[in-house]
Amino acid sequence: MGNQEMLILVGHAWQCPDCRRLLLEAPDKVLRGRPLSAEQRQALTALRAEHFASLADLAAALNVATGDLLDAMNHARSRLRHF
């Protein structure tokens, strides 16, 4: 599996302040049961508020292309998926 699950999750966090706060404050709770690799879990757990300052900062923190993150943010699951 690729990065789609991670990108959709973080794409929603970019758009939803409540879910972003939850991801930053309780990442283990948010990530529990999600089909993510250990590397993806580590990257998501390491996110800080400053990574959400810009899309480029967020993409760099996750080591993904900004365009891939934008595509995920436009995915229907990203817009509708509260944690």
Closest by Cα among 79, 22, 24, 83 to 53: 24
pTM to 2 decimals?
Answer: 0.86
Torsional class of 66: left (φ above 0), alpha (ψ -120 to 50), beta (otherwise): alpha
Rounded to an integer, the average pLDDT of 29-50 is: 95
- Indicate the residue type of 81: R
Q: How confident is the model at residue 1 (pLDDT cuts 50, 70, 90)?
A: very low
83/80 Cα distance (integer angstroms):
10
Structural domain including 31 reads 4-80
Taking only the tens place, the pLDDT of each residue in 13-34 is: 999 999 999 999 999 999 999 9
Structural domains counted in the chain: 1
What's CA 31's distance to the chain center, in Å?
Answer: 10
Taking only the tens place, the pLDDT of each residue in 47-67 is: 999 999 999 999 999 999 999
Rounded to an integer, the average pLDDT of 31-41 is: 93
